[in-house]
A = this chain, B = another copy of it.
Amino acid sequence: MPDSITTREQAAQADATDPLARLRDRFDIPDVTYLDGNSLGAMPSHVPAKVADAMTRQWGNDLITSWNTNGWWELPSRVGDRIGALVGAAPGQVLCGDSTSIQLFQVLTALARLRPERHTLITDGANFPTDQYLADSVARMLGLTVVRVSPDQVGTVLGPDTALVAFSAVDYRTGERWDAAKITADVHGAGALMSWDLCHAVGAMPFDLDGLEADAAVGCSYKYLNGGPGAPAWIYVPRRHHDVIDLPLTGWQGHADPFELEQHYRPAGGIERARIGTPPVLAMVALDAALDVFDDVTPADIRAKSLRLTQLVIDYADAHLPDVTVQTPRQPERRGSQVSLAMPHAYEVTQALIARDVIGDFRAPDMLRLGFAAPYLGFAQVWDAMETVRDVITTEAWRDPAFARGSAAVT
């Protein structure tokens, strides 16, 4: 582990030797400390020009021919491969499109269909709500029973009736990171299939989907991938399942021969069968451009800096914030790229921080959630933000009525 950072001088020193510091200039960020990249990543500076080109030249001038001449048709698989490279998926196994909720419906249904003789779907009762809601919906349609358990307790509920298990790699509230290798192996040991939701992992840390032999995965692209608000999600299906995976959202673009316009669905070969309807071209062009940032950095490099940033925050809280409880695990390997701090009046504190240009978010009932996007954050900057947290708490600045409840944040 790198040296811990317990003074501002050490933080400044860490910046001076930070190999990722060069990435900061690739983003347009206002004069704030943005600790909400786990909700909506910041904008890479070159994205607007790429989208403007997609509008004015490709749509405006080239019109319908752009599907061929400007590569629109290939966007879902091409962008999918770029995302796949960040989560340990060899090319041809990730397709970009739609929302995480839609991709969850695809994955949960399709995996259950691969185990028709089993009737239990396991999810995490602390999983992000959409993961739980879609699990319940799929279970209802297919006649399955949903069992909720914390990922580290999955061994207590796995059994011969378990068809599939669907967890998130990182708990969206606490920032706890699960032991994906052990869990996947345990699930496979029970003869069941494993799907991972990587919304809070992709772009923030390595993940080894192929190596784990995960059976499916989904993720968004508007958090640590910085793809823009509502950027399209993605789905991973490993090659070994391609010939048998039976996806329920049988849109025309996933057909084996979409321009023959046949009456009956025949799925395309490979990951192309995960296409549904017409993809959101402008949004996918924005995401494609945003991914350029990752051409010059590895997930391992990002992870190393992220861990050092979150360690700084945990150490600071332990030393200087007596009324605050760190909810995120202290062991690096069990930590995502965020730190969740439980405290009295967390909602008001979050608002007071935003007023002081430290942007985090609140999670009910009592949590300030801070996300750390290594490509555009600095150590001294984060140190100063923590000083602001201390100041807001010790001066009780959060008591200003302007910071009382009344608005809402978005995950």
Contacts and interface: CB of A to CB of B under 8 A. Distances in A.
Contacts of A263: 125, 129, 132, 148
A130 B354 CA distance: 46
Given A128-B261, A259-B408, 5 more contacts: A48-B52, A58-B229, A105-B249, A129-B262, A230-B281
Interface residues on A, range: 35 or more
A72 interface: yes
A136 B63 contact: no
Contacts of A39: 64
A363 interface: yes
B67 A42 contact: no
A146 to B, nearest CB: 10
A411 B280 CA distance: 15
Interface string A81-111: 0000000000000000011111001000000
Interface string A50-84: 01100110111101111110001100000000000
A277 to B, nearest CB: 3
Number of copies: 2
A409 interface: yes
Contacts of A359: 63-65
14 contacts: A28-B60, A34-B63, A39-B64, A67-B408, A100-B277, A101-B252, A129-B265, A132-B263, A134-B249, A137-B248, A228-B282, A230-B282, A259-B409, A282-B286
A325 interface: no
B101 A276 contact: yes
A260 B98 contact: no
A133 B255 contact: yes
A36 B55 contact: no
Given A59-B228, A280-B231, A64 B133 contact: no
